[in-house]
Structure 1
Amino acid sequence: MRTHRLCAATASTALLGALVLAGPGTSAASGAEAAVKITVNANAGLATMPDTGLGINDAIWDKELGTTAVSDLLKSAGVRMVRYPGGSYGDIYHWKTHTAPGGYVAPGTDFDTFMAALQWTGAQPMIIANYGTGTPEEAADWVRYANVTKKYGATYWTIGNENYGNGHYGSEWEADNHPDKSPTAYANGVVAFADAMKAVDPAIKVGAVLTMPGNWPDGIVAGGDPATWNQTVLTVAGSKIDFVDLHWYPGGSTAAESLAKPEQITDAVHLAREQIARYAPADAGRIGISLTETNVGVGPNTQPGALFLADAYSGLLESGVFTVQWWNVHNGIGTVSTVAGRTDYGDFGLLSSGTCLADGTTCEPPLNTPFAPYHGLTMMNAFARPGDRFVRAGTDDPLVTAHAVRRPDGDLAVLLVNKDPDNARTAAVAYTGYTPAAAAPTVHTYVNGGTGVTTAQTGTATSRTLPPYSLTTLVLHPASQVSGEPGAPGRPTASAVTDRTATVTWPAATAGGHPVAKYELHRQNGAIDEQLGETTGTSFTVANLTPGTRYTLNVLARDTAGKVSRPSPPLTFTTGSPATSTCTVRFTDNNDWGNGYVAGVDITNNGPDAIDGWTLTFDWPTAWQRMNGGWNATWEQNGRTVKATSLDSGGRLAARGGSVSAGFVAGYTGPNLLPPVFTLNGTVCHTA
């Protein structure tokens, strides 16, 4: 959450001052060490870059909203979606009167001015309908004005902004005039808003506000509520919405800690999709995910902001989020510090507001001077274009991350992020499913303190020196243009998923110059290519899978001449526990408080023989989950593995139904995926 969004940009200093800015952590390696191994796997297809991918927020308290200078800068950076009227202002803004009681509205920031600026920029709007102090009728009138009267064709509308911050969970920053502030009331409001708005224009897409998995108040059930915010909203309003709207401010007390947060993205988005699939009504797959606010925890207008933006945007977009939007175009000076040798103004704006501290001792650069994240966004525009397909890339160095896209014309772009503030990295890049041309690639670079992205043709596709604290994009041509290859197979689906097997089915590929001979199933094991099987048909049952494991697969077509298609869209599924076993484990998340909970573990012996002394083990799905001490067993954790050993008083489990209850206190600092499988004395149990 960002409570400063309720204030004008020039009044944000005190609230932003609560964020502690610190220098980056100690570097883990030096440039003299062995080269970083980077693997790019063009066979491992991820999401396609959407036209709405690169986004930004703009606010009615920003007097620069709608100016040609700002529109030109956003256009140059490739911005394709802009959110209006600005964060929490969305729940106090009345569009007809262009007023926001309790807030400040700058001149020249009305809706028509905003839309004119978007047309100049070449972007689409993401509009916040006022749930907090508005009505469904007011929102419907806005849709009518926008799309019937003015014919703007505004497609995306969210119902409110961070409405879980209305005081229901104890923290209150979001305006909400409704007497009932529960998730049930909000969900019913979403239904009423969606019905009224779509009655005017059935073509619009309506979004509901959810919490980002792993971020407050995810997991919390408030007094009197039947379930969490996300579960309740999806259950009640899931049939009426077209997308969910998430915000993500992962924080961090140091730059190094903040820059490590994007490693949580894959699991957070996976958990969000899991919640949508579990709680929304049938056809939940049609519900998209938007991420309409994010920013870095430390160094928001210096190099950490640029590195975080590029890394986070890439991770979210390759996971299938249809838009990612930085907070904000302008924001105002906050706590001034030095980060990686550069003055950081604590400003969450993409562009300088030209403001000064109250005592006049420090002033920002001139108005609209781009801060480092602006150049990070410009790098994203050079890296991933609408229609490009993200493909898997990975590295063996935690301070270097990699992302890649395959373009429709055959080119491949690789984005490399060096998060070490002090040392360059030599990178050795290997490719699977792609052979780059010998000619020097086009190289885009943004370095610490740079005033823009530089571009040159230099070096090779397989070796590159990455400057400290830098962004580097390589754009490669293929060694030869392949023609007549098969089309990519259609999106696969999984059925009959058990603990050990899954049946994968896909639409057939279109033949190219030769008939399709077979299909190959490839698992994304990081960036390593792992073929699981092949068939001449369009369905295959994969065997020998590991219980409780998440699998992401692509299908490739190979023709009779040996030419291989591009990968199908990805399929992700998770194997379960055995349907029957000599043991059953029931694991429960009880009394969750947002970064921890009481874990209940009930163990039952289903076998014909009694068990005298038992050991239960499981692995946490992520590295940010932990066991903090328990009861009715001796508990210990080593890495991700948790082991519970029976006490003398509870070590005997009678045959055919003997049971014991134990538990522990769990903690987490990211998306909280519950452990899927448990092993009792070496036997994989059924998970109830």
Structure 2
Amino acid sequence: MPRTLLRAASAVLLTLATLNVPVAHADEADPVAVTVNARAALAPVPETGIGTNHAIWDTQLGNDTTADLLKDAGVKVLRYPGGSYSDIYHWADHTAPGGYVAPNTDFDTFMRGVRRTGAQPMVTANYGTGTAAEAAAWVRYANVTKDYGVKYWEIGNENYGNGRYGAAWEADDHADKSPAEYARHVVAYSDAMKAVDPTIKIGAVLTTPANWPDAIVADGDTGSWNDVVLAAAGSKIDFVILHWYPGSLDRTGHIPDMIDLTRRQIARHVGAGSERIGIAMTEFNTGSNTNGTNTQPGALAAADAYATLLANGVFTVDWWNVRNGIGTVTQVEGHTDYGDFGLLSSGTCTADGSVCEPAVNTPFAPYYALQMVSRFARSGDRFIRAATDEAKVTAHAVRRPNGDLAVMLINTSSDTSYPVTIDYSGFSPASGAPTVLTHTNGATSITESATGTATGQTLPPLSLTTLVLRPSSVQAGLPGAPGQPTVSNVTDTTATISWPAASAGTRPVVKYEVSRQNGAVGEQIGETGGTSVTVNNLKPGTRYTVNVIARDGGGGTSAPSAPLTFTTGTPASSTCSVRLTKQSDWANGYVGAIDITNNGAPINGWTLTFGWPRAWQSLGSGWSAVWTQSGQNVKVVNEAGNGSLATGATATVGFVGNYSGPNTLPSVFTLNGTVCTTR
């Protein structure tokens, strides 16, 4: 979206929410149970995980103080030249017609700051008013002439915001503003840029699931933006680009489905080898002035989102932005929130001069959130499952290559200090006080101490706390981790899981154990002496994430394999079959049609049932049947005129489905108690 010093235009697209925090007192708080499972591995922590955006209208972009502050925060990716300015910026003469370009913000100055920060650059080539030749010349200058080694190149910014779907904030001089036209140019840009440097990585812009205009099909298009772009350009790209401004501080639960749906779209359109395509979140901000854009609640939400996105395999999350400027001024949790989307103060004032930000380069609370995440999750670590039994407290954990473990705990309560008890699976912490990193409401630094125990801590209100733990002992000679598992022959109730053998330690490997992740609890679902096992008794239409560990003859166990995620289907044959299709979609609701076919004996009276996969989905209305919803369960009962289904007959019913998060469609339907085949 267009960026001046404020991202005000995006506000019309955001849903603002408030934190409803019940009043409690510290002495009333029950202990929170935290579970950490070192055998339930998630994604590895990438070198490029922590990032932010630089903009060419920021007069402080190139100074050493900025670079040093970002380095201290652990920033490893710097994106340039700044949001929608990317689609009006011409690098060769450092101009952006229609926008403001500050002095000392040219590409070479940016790269000097990148190197001082110790980060990698992420450069957005001009699609809106540029050409493939211009982008290729930029690659030549950067990587041949100057030897900067710029690896990551995006093609345009939020190019779906070019008016194709109604709203227009992104510059686009192309007469054809369709996703097909964008995809054609992505191919041309990729070919031209890789002809100069074949080692670079090219990224294409996608819409973020459940965020406008995701899933909308414009007149004349063959599908949604993502469907068209991936189908036409998927073979030419190396990563896809998402932007997310959730507008609320409680949307982290959307992330696993958001990334899963994106992965499914990539796999569907790219096919074999699609796993090579990475996912980058090159703009992220909590996007909520009322809840605290630059005060502690926003910082807590940022830390939670960064950790969750990276644990789900996103290779970079880039905060919008280093500096942004003063916006709507409010008081949040005892501190002034300047409505500023930046990490660092720009020192600007309101139009009437009544309120001014602190001095330039003063860090806002989200700065410390990024700093905490960078100290908690380091390149080479691997995320592992962690969970709590209290909604106000969230937990994340990583295992370090040397066997250490780190746990990040987030207390979002305004007024309750929560005691926590931590239980570990697959890890025995050393006795004594662990290293504890803490950031509290209004603090201007992260404190470090040795306090509490590995199994017991107290979390101050509105705080980030990281524990760094040593194992009680280091056992030598254990097996190596099994290789990346794969899945085949997936049915409604079974799947065959295979993996490369683990390397033996001082004793031979005698068996492998396959465990399912159920939250932070591991449930063993199979074991074998070989490197493949068929697991049974799975549930139809269910997403499973599993890990494999090797066990040697002395009972020693390996680190877990990388995770494998797959989804079971429905019965290959049944007395009924169902087809769900979307007739139209407007990014927070859709019209659906369900075809119900009787494959068995004639039926006189039927009831179809299914469940919404997520709590943010609901039934708006339905027709051609009697529709009711209880919790997440939906019941559809025939009307008087369509209750009889002869063998082979089909009844069609329709509904409006509402959603406020990633829209994973129902996949399991029962007809008169029988699970149907979903077509």
The interval holding the TM-score normalised by the smaller chain is over 0.9
SS at structure 2 position matched to 1:171 = coil
Tell me which of 194, 200, 213 is aligned to 2:209. Answer: 213
Contact in 2 for aligned 1:588/1:600 (Cα 8 Å): yes
CA distance in 1, matches of 2:629, 2:215: 23
Match of 2:533 among 540, 550, 558: 540
- The worse-fitting range, judged by mean Cα deviation, of 298-307 and 152-161 is 298-307
SS in 1 for 2:66: helix
Q: 2:533 and 2:72 mapped to 1: Cα distance?
A: 46
Partner of 1:45, secondary structure, is strand
Counterpart in 2 of 1:317?
A: 310
Quick one: structure 1 residues 666 and 615, their matched pair in 2 at CA, closer, same or farther if it must change by over 3 Å? same
Match of 2:616 in 1: 624
* Matches for 1:576-595 after TM superposition, within 5 Å: 576-595=569-588
2:235 to 235, 239, 246: 239
Find the aligned partners of 2:41 and 2:393 in 1 and give their Cα distance.
21
Deviation for aligned residue 1:166: 0.3
CA distance in 1 between partners of 2:12 and 2:332 (Å): 15
Which stretch of the first structure deviates more once superposed, 22-31 or 188-197? 22-31
Does the aligned pair in 1 maintain the 2:214–2:224 contact within 8 Å?
Answer: yes
Contact 2:23–2:415 under 8 Å retained in 1: no
Distance in 1 between the 2:15 and 2:626 partners?
A: 39
Post-superposition offset of 1:637: 1.3
1:225 corresponding residue in structure 2: 221
Q: How does 1:141-152 map to 2 (within 5 A)?
A: 141-152=137-148
Aligned 1:175-324 pairs, distance under 5 A: 175-251=171-247, 258-298=248-288, 299-324=292-317
Query: Bigger CA drift: 297-306 or 385-394?
Result: 297-306
Partner of 1:677: helix, strand, or coil? coil
2:632 corresponds to 1:640: yes
> Counterparts of 1:103-502 in structure 2 under 5 Å?
103-251=99-247, 258-298=248-288, 299-502=292-495
SS in 2 for 1:591: strand
Alpha-carbon spacing, 1:17–1:670, altered in 2? closer, same or farther (3 Å): closer
Indicate if the aligned counterparts of 1:17 and 1:334 stay in contact, CA closer than 8 A. Answer: no
Q: Match for 1:83: what amino acid? A: R
CA deviation after TM superposition for structure 1 residue 34, in Å? 2.1
State the one-letter code of the partner of 2:232. Answer: V
Alignment match, 2:524: 531
CA contact (8 A) 1:13 1:333 kept: no
**Partner letter of residue 604 of structure 2?**
D
2:21 is aligned to 26
Equivalent residue letter for 2:617:
Q
Map of 1:254 onto structure 2: none
Q: Which runs of 4+ in 1 moved over 3 A?
A: 11-24, 28-31
Residue 27 of structure 1: how far off its partner (Å)? 2.6
Q: Decide which moves more: 110-119 or 26-35.
A: 26-35
Query: Residues of 1 paired with 2:166 and 2:13: CA distance?
Result: 19
1:13 offset after TM fit, Å?
A: 6.8
Judged with a 3 Å threshold, the aligned counterparts in structure 2 of structure 1 residues 677 and 30 are, in CA distance, closer, same or farther, namely: farther
1:521 equivalenced with 2:514 (yes/no) = yes
- 3-state SS, counterpart of residue 75 of structure 1: helix
Q: What are the Cα deviations for residues 580-603 of structure 1, in whole angstroms up to 9, with x where unaligned?
A: 100011111121011000111111
Distance 1:156 1:92 in 2: 19
* 1:46 and 2:37 are equivalent in the alignment: no
Determine the C-alpha separation between the residues in 1 that align with 2:654 and 2:562: 41
Question: Deviation at 1:26?
Answer: 2.6
* Residue 661 of structure 2 is aligned to residue 665 of structure 1: no
CA distance in 2, matches of 1:17, 1:242: 32
8 Å Cα contact 2:429/2:470 also seen in 1: yes
Q: Is the 8 A contact 1:13 1:335 kept in 2?
A: no
Structure 2-normalised TM-score?
0.98
1:95 pairs with 2:91: yes
Quote how far apart the aligned CAs of 1:615 are: 1.1
Q: Residue 90 of structure 1: CA displacement?
A: 0.7
1:547 shift after superposition: 0.3
> Match for 1:263: what amino acid?
G
**1:569 aligns with one of 562, 569, 578:** 562
Query: 2: CA distance between counterparts of 1:194 and 1:30?
Result: 58
C-alpha distance in 2, partners of 1:221/1:17? 21
- Mapped partners of 1:29, 1:186: distance in 2: 53
- Structure 1 residue runs without a partner (length 5+): 252-257
Q: What does the per-residue CA deviation read over 1:357-393, in whole Å, with 9 as the maximum and x for residues that have no partner? A: 0101100000010000001011111100000000011
**Distance 1:140-1:358 versus aligned 2 partners, 3 A rule:** same
Residues 296 and 304 in structure 1, CA contact (< 8 A), matched pair in contact too: no
Cα distance in 2 for partners of 1:286, 1:442 equals 37
For the 8 Å contact 2:287–2:341, the answer to whether it is kept is no
Distance 1:580 1:18 in 2: 44
Query: Residues 434-462 of structure 1: CA distance to partner in whole angstroms, max 9, x if unpaired?
Result: 11111111111111111111110010111
Structure 2: gaps (5+ residues) = none
Q: State the secondary structure of the residue aligned to 2:251.
A: helix
1:649 equivalent in structure 2: 641
Whether 2:594 is the aligned partner of 1:601: answer: yes
Residue identity over aligned pairs, in percent, reads 63
Question: How far 1:281 sits from its partner (Å)?
Answer: 4.0
1:465 & 1:555 partners in 2: Cα distance?
34
Cα distance in 2 for partners of 1:17, 1:602 equals: 37
How many Å apart are 1:21 and its aligned residue? 7.3
Q: 1:422 Cα deviation (Å)? A: 1.9
Go from structure 1 to structure 2 and tell me whether the alpha carbon gap of 1:586 and 1:131 turns closer, same or farther (over 3 Å shift). Answer: same
Aligned-pair distance for 1:12?
A: 5.9
**Number of residue pairs matched by the alignment:** 675
Q: Residue 140 of structure 2: SS of its match in structure 1? A: helix
Opposite residue 641 of structure 2, the aligned amino acid is: S
For residue 61 of structure 2, what is the aligned residue in structure 1?
A: 65
Deviation at 1:22, TM superposition (A): 7.3
Q: Which amino acid aligns with 1:648?
A: A
Q: Which letter does structure 2 place at the counterpart of 1:506?
A: W
Distance 1:285 1:552 in 2: 16
1:397 positional shift:
1.4
CA displacement at 1:279 relative to structure 2? 1.1
Work out whether residues 48 and 387 of structure 1, in 8 Å CA contact, stay in contact via their aligned partners in 2: yes
Report the equivalent of 2:669.
Answer: 678
Equivalent residue runs for 1:546-557 within 5 Å? 546-557=539-550
Looking at structure 2, the residues matched to 26 and 649 of structure 1 have their Cα atoms a distance apart, in angstroms, of: 50
Do the aligned partners of 2:621 and 2:627 also contact (CA within 8 Å) in 1? yes
Q: Aligned partners of 1:62 and 1:321: how far apart in 2?
A: 27
User: For the residues of structure 1 that align with 2:618 and 2:165, how far apart are their CA atoms?
Assistant: 25
Tell me by how many angstroms 1:625 deviates: 0.6
1:465 offset after TM fit, Å? 1.0
Shift of 1:123: 0.2
Deviation of 1:480 after TM superposition, in Å, equals 0.5
Question: Residues 253-308 of structure 1, C-alpha deviation per residue, up to 9 Å, x if partnerless?
Answer: xxxxx221011101100110011001124311110000011111321100122101
Return closer, same or farther for 1:342/1:19 CA change in 2, 3 Å cut-off.
Answer: farther
- Name the CA distance, whole Å, in 2 between partners of 1:22 and 1:391: 30
Contact kept? 1:22, 1:339, Cα under 8 Å: no
Residues 347 and 359, structure 2, Cα contact 8 Å, conserved in 1: yes
The root-mean-square deviation of aligned C-alpha atoms, in Å, is: 1.4
Distance 2:599 2:155 in 1: 49
Residue 14 of structure 1, CA deviation:
8.5
